[in-house]
Structure 1
Amino acid sequence: MSLPPDPRTAGGGDRPWQVPSWVDPVVARATGVIGGPLGRYAVVGGGGLAGVAAALTLVGALVLALGVWQKGHCLMKGWSTPDQFWRACYSDLPVVHVSSPLSERALPWAGEGAATGTAPLPGAVMWLLAQVWPGAGGGLASQQWVFALWALVAVVLVGLAVLALVSLTPQRPWQAAHLAASPALALLALVSTDLLGVSLLLLGLWAWRRERSWTAGVLLGLASLVRPFPLLVLAAVLVVAWRRGRVLPALQTVVGAVLGALLVLLPLVTVQPEALSAAQQWWGQPAGYGALQMVPRLLGVTVPTALTTAVAVGGWLLALGLGVRLSAPGRPGGGRGVVQLSALMLLVVALTSASLSVQSGLWVLPFLALSAVRWWRHLLWVLAEALVFLATWLHIAFASDPGRGLPGDAYALTVVLRAVAWSWVLWEVGRGDRPVAQRPVPISAPDRTASPS
């Protein structure tokens, strides 16, 4: 039986939104716990886009609460080795806090227990959190305090990310649930400060969409101080702008990114030059956890460090060249947008990276939320992420108890499976030829009244 036009959207207006439980079978089945898919006469988005953003921020807060629960053992007992690996509750923030000068409210890069591998902006953020701690020293109370503070900051960051996503995809605002409701958020958001970079990245894309080139550059420059992945998005912005004849905004974005990075780097380097040690350590380090380049070493094959670095650098060059080539309007699928180009370049960099830590999965979520990827694909990717999440801690703990830990060959298999999952889901994002906001959106609900056969 055919239905009349949906009275909520028949007049057009500002709410031609797809209801996830009408168009995605995974979401429809998941709503069984709250009574089933949304009904035909329910009011969708009565509060406007702000209402959607508020609802998804609340969902994100609940998902982060699950993340706190998942790390509950360490939160109650402390982050000690190897217990934090057996319990899969490791987190950089409390561990680095008590093992570095942060416990004395000093910057983390110099002194006894210096956290030389910490990137500039994460180190500065952890230093700010240390200033809020009312006491001093590195006991359990300080670990709990710092972890709780970051959990609260993470809720704010998720809210900002959701606002940016909803604004970027106003015709499909619920797509932001791919970040706010992702199981990966619960697993990874509290492991490190990467969520800060993800939020800055999305705010940068929002500013670029609003033609605020300087702001977009500053935000992307700050995001790149958390991890270098935002540089790929910056490159995609430049390539797309160049192809579309927007040279001046592209140059403004580049200058803004440099200024944004210097805004943090100059004060840090002036006070503590060791703040750049993370970049210095990257050059010439052996392959690290999660990277495909680590697989030969896990299988007993010695790989020269120089070759590992060369492959990683070559991956970046290949990714940039691929972005330029795929953006050509005359090529099949040419004229891709920033999101599609960024996803494909990220895929190349991830596959050739010298290290791809467990929390790197957070950087995939913005691309899922800005594309039309279905939830079943998202959940299969999360399954691979969860497998590597557990396998990494068990492999690290293998050194302390080989009888309980995960040997190298088994860990290598999980790394390969994760690489396959990243390739699959990022290819799905990258092959799209139009941004999701430009795709036609159905305005009528499916027939819910037909009797089952």
Structure 2
Amino acid sequence: MSTPPDPRTEEGQDRPWQVPSWVDPVVAQATGIVGGPLGRYAVVGGRGLAGVAAAVVLLGALMLGLGVWQKGHCLMKGWSTPDQFWRSCYSDVAVVHASSPLAERALPWVGEGAATGTAPLSGVAMWLLAVVSPRAGGGLASQQWVLALWALVAMVLLAVAVVALVALCPTRPWRAAHLAASPVLALLALVSTDLLGVTLMVLGLWAWRRDRPWVAGLLLGLALLVRPFPLLVLAAIVMLAARRGRLLPALQAVVGTVLGALLVLLPLVSVQPEALTAAQQWWGQPAGYGALQMVPRLLGLSVPTGLTTAVAVGGWPLALMLGWRWTAPDRPGGAPGVEQVAALMLLVVALTATSLSVQSGLWVLPFLALSSVPWSRHLVWALVEALTFVTTWLHIAYASDPGRGLPPDAYAVVVVLRAAAWTWLLWEVARAPHRPAHRPAPTSTPVRTVSPS
């Protein structure tokens, strides 16, 4: 009698999609708490992609719950300085709310304690949280409310991002766990409103894959009002479209991006023109926390701010040139995908940036979910991000108590280590084999017939 193929191997072509516990040893070990990896004859995908998405969203809810727990000290005692740094529970959402006009349910860019460095869409999001919060003012109760509201919004945003990632990778839907189940998410999701931009960027990629360039551009235009990283995704879209002779959809995406940004900026600037100061603030500023350019200053060297700005500005055309070369049709390994080209350009921009805040790590997670990087490498990088998370707050608190805080030379070592981790991981994403999105196989398990030998 012939032996039926093992669905855990490449010969098992009847599987609806790849199961992580069969192919990733880290995931196989982690499943021990729920009974171990799936067995050889387990029915996988009986509930379709919706079941996978629901399971991953539940994992995301667990990680966000851990994030709330990690902020617990500040949530109960308040965000006081330097205590919030010793406890590593700082959050822009709560601190900016109490120290800016947001406390009075006003936009944050004008008035006493104006948050001039807040990105346009981030400021609008925090203003909406302040408006719907039942408690106004800058007291602890109002901070608790806005952080709790943001945690709920973050859960919705994460669910939307997970569904989009599952739709983007229908044959490997569990890869969405690289976003939802990452330890980085637990640490960073409540630090700022960056998860809003990350979700919009993922939706923009989803729309582009579904041949909706106008919608993709609109979503990317909104996302770049949180951070400029989505511009790299747009650039990757344009480059690959140009290589493949699809200039019209690329142009539609570019125009859609402009319209998406103007959709927020025009009404916002008409009410509060100072909202644009965030885009101008980095110009002429010394290197900030997390940036590789900050290392010389940490070591006591004087670096002209003009040189710092020039390096940051020069990083963008350098990233575009490398991205264009990466899309060459004769590149070894075949044509890359949008996420691979964008990851390579993100690496260059991150290494030359004037600032690379702790929450910047959130923007790496979608690229991991869309690549074939294994969990072992993800967790090594996450460990470095966690180290950066803790040491950044300790270095900030060094000014309050040098005996307890992290001195500049020690923080410089962490910054260099983080730059190395980003380089290693994003390079792995950029050179990973590209698997074009395609429809999953039927989710029903076919009946095998055993023929006599």
TM-score (norm 1): 0.94
Q: 1:212 to 1:414 in 2, by over 3 A?
A: same
Measure the CA separation in 2 of the matches of 1:275 and 1:369: 33
Measure the CA separation in 1 of the matches of 2:437 and 2:25: 21
Measure the CA separation in 2 of the matches of 1:56 and 1:145: 27
Q: 1:249 to 1:371 in 2, by over 3 A?
A: same
Query: What is the CA distance between 1:283 and its match in structure 2?
Result: 0.9
Query: What is the CA distance between 1:286 and its match in structure 2?
Result: 0.6
2:201–2:219 contact (8 Å) kept in structure 1: yes
Measure the CA separation in 2 of the matches of 1:424 and 1:48: 35
1:127 aligns with 2:147: no
Question: What corresponds to 1:449 in structure 2?
Answer: none
Question: What corresponds to 2:209 in structure 1?
Answer: 209
1:192 aligns with 2:218: no
- Residues 427-452 of structure 1 deviation map (CA, whole Å, 9 limit, x = unaligned): 001012423647999x9xxxxxxxxx
Question: What corresponds to 1:357 in structure 2?
Answer: 357
TM-score (norm 2): 0.94
Measure the CA separation in 1 of the matches of 2:392 and 2:125: 25
Structure 1 regions of 5+ residues with no counterpart? 444-453
- Residues 125-181 of structure 1 deviation map (CA, whole Å, 9 limit, x = unaligned): 000000011232110000000000000000001101101110000000001110110
**Which secondary structure does the structure 1 equivalent of 2:89 belong to?**
coil
Question: What corresponds to 1:315 in structure 2?
Answer: 315
Query: What is the CA distance between 1:333 and its match in structure 2?
Result: 4.1
2:372–2:433 contact (8 Å) kept in structure 1: no
Query: What is the CA distance between 1:240 and its match in structure 2?
Result: 0.4
**Which secondary structure does the structure 1 equivalent of 2:399 belong to?**
coil
Q: 1:60 to 1:92 in 2, by over 3 A?
A: same
Question: Which amino acid in the other structure matches residue 33 of structure 2?
Answer: V
Q: Give the superposed CA RMSD.
A: 2.0
Question: What corresponds to 1:277 in structure 2?
Answer: 277
2:373–2:432 contact (8 Å) kept in structure 1: no
Measure the CA separation in 2 of the matches of 1:359 and 1:417: 16
Query: What is the CA distance between 1:334 and its match in structure 2?
Result: 5.5
**Which secondary structure does the structure 2 equivalent of 1:398 belong to?**
helix
1:415 aligns with 2:415: yes
1:8–1:43 contact (8 Å) kept in structure 2: no
Question: What corresponds to 2:256 in structure 1?
Answer: 256
1:217–1:260 contact (8 Å) kept in structure 2: yes
2:151–2:190 contact (8 Å) kept in structure 1: yes
Query: What is the CA distance between 1:332 and its match in structure 2?
Result: 3.1
Question: What corresponds to 1:22 in structure 2?
Answer: 22
- Residues 103-133 of structure 1 deviation map (CA, whole Å, 9 limit, x = unaligned): 0000000000000000000000000000011
1:197–1:222 contact (8 Å) kept in structure 2: yes
- Residues 237-278 of structure 1 deviation map (CA, whole Å, 9 limit, x = unaligned): 000011100011000000000000000000110000000011
1:236 aligns with 2:233: no
Aligned 1:28-67 pairs, distance under 5 A: 28-67=28-67
1:45–1:51 contact (8 Å) kept in structure 2: yes
Aligned residues: 440
Measure the CA separation in 1 of the matches of 2:144 and 2:177: 29
Query: What is the CA distance between 1:302 and its match in structure 2?
Result: 0.8
Measure the CA separation in 2 of the matches of 1:216 and 1:110: 32
Q: 1:209 to 1:440 in 2, by over 3 A?
A: closer
1:295–1:412 contact (8 Å) kept in structure 2: yes
Q: 1:36 to 1:272 in 2, by over 3 A?
A: same
Q: 1:439 to 1:340 in 2, by over 3 A?
A: farther
Question: What corresponds to 1:106 in structure 2?
Answer: 106
Query: What is the CA distance between 1:8 and its match in structure 2?
Result: 11
Question: Which amino acid in the other structure matches residue 313 of structure 2?
Answer: V
Measure the CA separation in 1 of the matches of 2:320 and 2:414: 28
Query: What is the CA distance between 1:199 and its match in structure 2?
Result: 0.4
**Which secondary structure does the structure 2 equivalent of 1:22 belong to?**
helix
Measure the CA separation in 1 of the matches of 2:6 and 2:17: 11
Identity rate, percent: 78
Query: What is the CA distance between 1:347 and its match in structure 2?
Result: 0.5
Question: What corresponds to 2:183 in structure 1?
Answer: 183
Query: What is the CA distance between 1:3 and its match in structure 2?
Result: 6.1
- Residues 180-238 of structure 1 deviation map (CA, whole Å, 9 limit, x = unaligned): 10000000011000000110000000000000000000000100000000000000000
**Which secondary structure does the structure 1 equivalent of 2:240 belong to?**
helix
2:179–2:366 contact (8 Å) kept in structure 1: yes
Question: What corresponds to 2:293 in structure 1?
Answer: 293
2:16–2:44 contact (8 Å) kept in structure 1: no
- Residues 408-440 of structure 1 deviation map (CA, whole Å, 9 limit, x = unaligned): 000000010011100001000101242364799
2:161–2:203 contact (8 Å) kept in structure 1: yes
2:311–2:353 contact (8 Å) kept in structure 1: yes
